Copies of this chain bind each other. A is one copy, B any other.
Amino acid sequence: MAAHDTDLARLDAWWRAANYLSVGQLYLLDNPLLREPLAAEHIKPRLLGHFGTVPGLTFIYAHANRTIKERDVEALFIAGPGHGGPGMVAASWLDGTYSEVYPEVTRDAAGMARLFRQFSFPGGIPSHAAPDTPGSIHEGGELGYSLSHAYGAVFDNPQLTVFCVVGDGEAETGPLATGWHGNKFVDPRTDGTVVPILHLNGWKIANPTILSRIPRSELTDLLRGYGHEPIFVDVDASDAHDEVHRRMAQAMDDALDQVARQRQDPAVVRPRTPAIVLRSPKGWTGPEIVDGKQVEGTWRSHQVPVDSARDDEEHRQVLDRWLRSYRPEELFDSAGRPVEEIDLVTPVGEARMSATPHANGGLLRRELTLPALADHLRELDEETDSSAMRELGTYLAEVIQRNRTDFRLFGPDETASNRLAPAVFEADSKRWNAASDPRDENLSRTGRIMEVLSEHQGQGWLEGYLLTGRHGIFATYEAFVHIVDSMFNQHAKWLESASGLPWRKPVSSFTYLLSSHVWQQDHNGFTHQDPGFLDLAVNKRADVVRVYLPPDANTLLSTVDHCLRTTDRMNVVVAGKQPAPQWFTPAEAVGHLERGASRLPWAGTDADGVDAVLACAGDVPTQEAIAAAAILREEAPGLRVRVVNVIDLMCLQPPSQHPHGMDDAAFDELFTTHAPIIFAFHGYPWLVHRLAYRRAGHANLHVRGYQERGTTTTPFDMRLLNDIDRFRLAADVLDRVAGPARDDTGLREDLERRRDQARAYTRLHGVDHPDVRTGGRRPLR
């Protein structure tokens, strides 16, 4: 299948066209086909965008197109260096996709003018391979996730090949450096193929790159060590383009031949997929020297190689020569349409990488087949404690069983620790295609539970899986989800931007299941205690973010069942894993989730009025608040205490701020506007203030939460340390309702004494006193 010269000449025309269109986007306001002499007013006053990586990206895209045409490859393109956006936009305009998606940007001279003007222009399009770019599932503004996204895309897509361009700058990031190991988690029979193309562009913003400056032998070793067989393509700026195209075509052919051979060999468990290493000059085909300085082949071409083309005559001439070097007159006809030669090497329909439905996953997404929730919710009884996460495990096991091609569970080596085991392992195994060992348990090469000790990989894989139209959950330790804070931000931004694009169809929400949380890491200590992810999450736009704190198993199941039905959201669910008392009947759980917050009549003494509200959010705070209410019921008779649980945190905001916001009337009815509110909160206390500060009763609000006091100790000692224990909460209520009519001095002293006793018992015995090991029982009738 050697490439014909004619084909390569056409490919070169395509490539020149893509580069011309890219430079045009960076520079031109008008005169798109250079049919007039280039004048100052044709040039943008503000030059924003990145050229350096573009010619390499378009070169690879052109050669990927060739394999699509010749081999019928079903391909998706991931541009790790996403700020090569102009190249991706250019490709999709040449493909015709751009004009289909944005009909006003026609595939002719007028559309080209529009394409150029809008790029990085106020009111126009972003400079990256953003959601706005057809064919993109990877924006790449923040670098490091291309390989993880690529692997996420090929899971359960056996027919799909992802050409994943890894920038050599990006390659220095941690997430990318471990991203290569994704190949230990793909099955050649049921998953697709990632063909990494390491682009040795040579330079970052202002420095050389490590991988371009280690000896070839070392780079070969590194890629082999990662499980890839490198195929090198070296390009110098002076090389003839026909020769360069031949080399690249050969490399792509070799790579795909090897892939095919290995995939057809039943003995191959883990293919050693080839990795193409393309060394090409940064700013290739751009101006070689500007103002006496070398630009092509250096970091100076990272953004715009000539920066004063509007104001400086000499720079303008450089730009003019540069643009004309692509010979636009050969590439576009009189109407500004790409010539037939270009169309001949352009794939059509969904085979176009810019038009593949895999890059607009909502087109492919089908609803999950979910279990009947009612079958999993359990009636309460007075005896048994349940682990909410363990109960959820049985539900998720059924989700896995019923959706064997488009649901996976992701996590960093913590599925068992988070107690989703053993149930989910009865439904399926953990994915593993590295060597096996007789001692292994629950591993298989086709397992649907994805565990690797990298939160970055888990998050990136799931993002890639969701963006290509599938479903999943990411379960991780609460404290360490901060490792992927920035990925949360970027995926939320993707969803925020995508929601403004009608042609992008909704994809499944990204659902975080945060367990082993701050109140349950008493054994691992301070490093494992951090509930601050919630503060981060609520910074993102309200139409995207949801935060749930289900207090028991039935509410957790209801929450996850709900989350799995949603699209285009970031759902954050915090759940307990320890055996704990259960509070909500099946019917109540469902109603509670719908309302967002509910009064617990059986826990309070507010039948005929409210002296104080004990509010709570989170499983442990709920246990303590209910226990505090029980103490007060016993020991401060006559005090009318309402107990309120909040499961959907965003209901604390007004509806003007968040779609789940509770209206003021309902809020005031529930929390009252007159009574002190003692709020026991799972996380850092001020988040509750932040969400509720516009409420009428805000001045009555007194929040207890995690105060950054942690260590290795017992569960109840953690609560004591942070003043969120039942005795403290009960005392808070008394402190706030105290008045001339009440004298609770004795009880308050008693509560303080009981705190001291609990502390002393723990220090002596190393365990909590039996009396405080439970959050009490709900009275059932």
Contact = CB atoms under 8 A, between A and B. Distances in A.
Contacts of A486: 480, 482-483, 485
A684 B538 CA distance: 10
Interface string A139-162: 101111000000000000000000
A64 B553 CA distance: 50
A690 interface: yes
A44 interface: yes
Interface in A736-781: 762-763, 765-767
A44 B125 CA distance: 63
Contact of A225 (B222, B527, B684): B222
A210 interface: yes
Contacts of A44: 766
**Per DSSP, are chain A's interface residues mostly helix, strand or loop, or mixed?**
loop
A530 B489 contact: yes
A332 interface: no
B210 A218 contact: no
A443 interface: yes
Copies in the complex: 2
Given A45-B765, A482-B489, A532-B539, A141 B224 contact: no
Nearest to A167: B453
B125 A712 contact: yes
A540 interface: yes
A490 interface: yes
A415 interface: yes
Contacts of A139: 527
A134 interface: no
Given A126-B712, A225-B223, A453 B181 contact: no
A526 interface: yes
A503 interface: no
Contact of A298 (B439, B480, B496): B439
A173 B173 CA distance: 11
B766 A121 contact: yes
Interface string A451-463: 1111111000000
Given A443-B208, A712-B48, A526 B539 contact: no
A729 B414 CA distance: 49
Contacts of A175: 174
Contacts of A762: 122-123
B205 A523 contact: no
Interface string A281-311: 0000000000000100110000000000000
A369 interface: no
Interface stretch (A241-249, A370-378, A427-435, A560-568): A427-435
Contacts of A365: none
Given A221-B225, A439-B298, A536-B485, A525 B130 contact: yes
A541 interface: yes
B225 A434 contact: no
A717 interface: yes
B45 A767 contact: yes
A607 interface: no
A125 B222 CA distance: 41
14 contacts: A121-B766, A127-B712, A128-B525, A141-B525, A172-B457, A184-B210, A205-B413, A213-B432, A222-B226, A482-B536, A493-B527, A497-B526, A535-B536, A539-B708
Interface of A: 29, 44-46, 48, 83, 120-128, 130, 139, 141-144, 169-170, 172-179, 181, 184, 204-210, 213-215, 218-227, 294, 297-298, 413-417, 421, 430, 432, 434-437, 439-440, 443, 451-457, 479-480, 482-483, 485-486, 489-490, 493, 496-497, 523-528, 530, 532, 535-536, 539-541, 684, 686, 689-690, 693, 708, 711-714, 717, 762-763, 765-767
